[in-house]
Structure 1
Amino acid sequence: MKIVVLSDTHLPKRKNGLPDRLLEELKDAELIIHAGDWLTIDVYHQLRAYGRVEGVYGNVDHEDIIGLLSSKKIVEAGGFRFGITHGHGKGKTTEKRAIVEFEGENVDCIIYGHSHIPVKRYEGNLLIFNPGSPTDKRRQKLFSFGVLTLSDKITAEHIFFNEE
C-alpha cells in the first residue's frame, strides 16, 4: 500500500497549486494524509480527486477546514495505526508536542507538520515523520513530501525536489 504524506501546503498563499512532482506521486496513492495548514478547502477537494484523504487542521486553516477535520486523528491502514496532528501549540518543540499528543494511543507512526522541517526517525519501533512542505520550504534547501510504503513494515521516504 502506498500512502502520500504532505503538510503545510498554505495554498493559495505560497503557490497557485500543488507541484507537478507531488501530483505525479498522487496518481497511484491508495491513501493521502495531510498534516494541516491546508489554508483553504480547495486543497482538500483537489486531493480528493486522487483518492481517499485523511487529515487534520493546522493553525492557519480557514473555518471550512476546521469544520471538516479535527486537530488530532488516528487512521488505520495496512494493519498499522497512524497518529496525525499538526503539532502547533505552546511549550516544547513541535515534534515533542506531536509525540505527547499520542501518548498511550498505541500508534505505529506519528505524522506531524507545522515546522516545515522534514523528519524521519524512530523512537524504538515508533516512526516519527514530518513530510516537510511541497509548497513552502522556508529555510530548507528543497521542497518535500513523504511516501510511506506498507508491507509487513512501514517504509518511509522523503521526496525532495526543487520546482521554482
Structure 2
Amino acid sequence: MTRIGLLSDTHAYWDDKYLTYFDTCDEIWHAGDIGSLEVAQKLADFRPFRAVYGNIDGQDIRRIYPQINRFTVDGAEILIKHIGGYPGNYDSSVRGSLLVKPPKLFISGHSHILKVKYDKTLGMLHINPGAAGTSGFHKVRTMVRFSIENGEFKDLEVIELAG
C-alpha cells in the first residue's frame, strides 16, 4: 500500500501544515502552479515528490518538472496535468491521451475547485485537490490524502486548511 499526499496551486505559498498532514504519506504529488522552487524543494526534502508545472510556473520549475507526468504506483497508472479539465469536459491538450489510453487516475489542478469524480465512460477516477495556496478566488484551501493498494484507491480524505 502506498499513501499519497496530493496538493495543487500553492502559488509559492508555504504552510507547515503541508508537512503535518502529509506526515503519514509515502509520496507527495503536486498538480502544478507550484510557484517557487523553494516550495517544491521543501516538499521533496520531506518525501519522494512528483509534480508537473502549471501555467504560472517559470522556466526554473519547467526545467525540472514536466507538463504531463504519467507513471505507475502500486499497480495503478496515474496521469497528472495542471490544466486538464474534468469528466465530460477534458481539456483539448490531454483529451486524446485520456481517450486512447485512460489511466486509472487522472489528476489536474488549475480550477482551484476541489473535485473527485469517477468517469464511468473511461473507467477512470479524476481528482482535482483544489488549491493549497492563498492566491486565487477560492475561500477554502484544500488538499487530499489517499491510498493506492494493488491498483485500487482507498481511504480518500479531503483536508481543509484553516487560516
The TM-score range, normalised by the shorter chain, is 0.7 to 0.9
Q: CA RMSD in A?
A: 1.8
Q: Residues 142-161 of structure 1 correspond to what in structure 2 (within 5 A)?
A: 142-152=140-150, 153-155=152-154, 156-161=156-161
Q: Give the letter for the 1:116 counterpart.
A: H
For residue 20 of structure 2, give the secondary structure of its aligned residue in structure 1. Answer: helix
Structure 1 segments unaligned to the other structure (5+ residues)? 89-93
Identity in percent:
25
Q: What corresponds to 1:18 in structure 2?
A: 15
Deviation at 1:82, TM superposition (A): 0.8
- Contact (CA 8 Å) 2:68, 2:80: kept in 1 or not? yes
Q: Counterparts of 1:137 and 1:126 in 2: how far apart (Å)?
A: 30
Give the distance between the partners of 2:68 and 2:94, measured in 1 at CA: 12
**Corresponding residue number in structure 2 for 1:135:** 133
Separation in 2 of the partners of 1:75 and 1:136? 29
Greater share of residues in strand: 2
Structure 2 residues not aligned, in runs of 5+: none
Q: Distance in 1 between matches of 2:111 and 2:52?
A: 15
Q: What is the distance in 2 between the residues matched to 1:7 and 1:102? A: 20
Runs of 4+ residues over 6 Å off in structure 1: none
The structural deviation recorded for 1:49 is 1.3
CA distance in structure 1 between the partners assigned to 2:16 and 2:98 by the alignment: 31
Question: Which residue is 1:91 aligned to?
Answer: none
Q: Which residue does 2:124 correspond to in 1? A: 126
2:142 partner SS? strand
Q: Distance in 1 between matches of 2:145 and 2:23?
A: 12
Give me the TM-score of the superposition, normalised by structure 1: 0.85
The letter for the 2-side match of 1:132 is: G
Say if 1:99 and 1:63 are closer, same or farther in 2 by CA, change over 3 A.
closer
Shift of 1:139: 3.8
